[in-house]
Amino acid sequence: MFIHNKRLQYTVRVGETNPALASLLLEQFGGPDGELAAAMRYFTQGLAETDPGRKDMLMDIATEELSHLEVIGSIVAMLNKGVKAQLSEAAMEEAELYRSLTAGGDSHTQAVLYGGGPSLTNSSGVPWTAAYVDSRGEPTCDLRSNIAAESRAKIIYERLINITDDPGIKDALGFLMTREISHQKSFEKALYAITDNFPPGKLQGVAPFANMYVNTSQGEGDMTGPWNEGPQWDRIDDLRKVMPADGGDGVPSVKLSRAETAVEKKVMARTASDPASDPQTGVDLGAGPGAGKITGGEDMGAAKDIKHADKI
């Protein structure tokens, strides 16, 4: 059960209102790496977790992330306090209000639609979606996902710190950023407290394919490094060797029943294309009087000629 105390986990002191900055900070309220995503990632894992230590840790951190959601949401609410009241009470001339709403970011939507309250969107106004939550119900995956998620959240906070000069906000963002570092450390400890965590899950891989590195991107700039070279790797540079990687013909096949085969023939006959035809097409009808138009460009010069002079 959750309980709430009206004090924030970190005191929020905002120097002056600024709805455009508020709209950027939404990234950590309703964005993909924001605090709701974090809280829900750990909470959904915690509910299904049966290992008592991990379950406790997941609920601890999920709960703290909800408190962080409250801190970042409170900053947004403070930054929007002016515009919220001004728009609500029509406190300025229309043109002045209009200008104040279109000063930057997506703060216009924050004001018109959300009335200056913190919205669960990212900084472009995209609503939060549970598609951001990648809990999979297997700890050797989920802990890695959590480690990655904390590292992403850390970097977004770092970027927001880099563009904020209000010392009170910067201070609170520094706290929040640091907590992500701390949480990453906890998840790392929990991952490696599972003795055998690689490969994730239970099934081992198929031996011939586990050390194979397929050099599919070739040409000038081909590089080697520990990720494709050394005793752990069998690098394939001649791609014909993996066309296919098994001993087959590389062609997909399925055994159809007799009835299925009969119907398949009917559909193929009905929709057959005639490769020997040279049909007149809608393009031919539509290209206008100039025959050259059929080619879509015959009377054009090189690409560099697409310039203003050709236009009205």
* Distance (Å, whole) CA 176 – CA 158: 10
Task: Specify burial of residue 298 (Cβ count, 10 A radius: 0-12, 13-18, 19+).
Answer: exposed
| Least distance from a second copy to the Cβ atom of residue 122, Å | 6
The least distance separating a second copy from the CB of residue 97, rounded to whole angstroms, comes to: 5
φ and ψ of 212, to 5 deg: -80, 130
CB-based contact 152:35 (threshold 8 Å) = no
Question: Nearest approach, Cβ of 301 to a second copy (angstroms)?
Answer: 7
CB 168 to a second copy: min, Å:
8
Q: What is d(CA 173, CA 95) in angstroms, rounded to the nearest whole number?
A: 34
Of 224, 185, 34, which is closest to residue 120 (Cα–Cα)? 34
> Hey, what are 143's tokens?
């802990």
Q: How far apart are CA 286 and CA 281, in angstroms?
A: 9
Q: How far apart are CA 111 and CA 104, in angstroms?
A: 12
Measured from the CB of residue 29, what is the shortest distance to a second copy in angstroms? 9
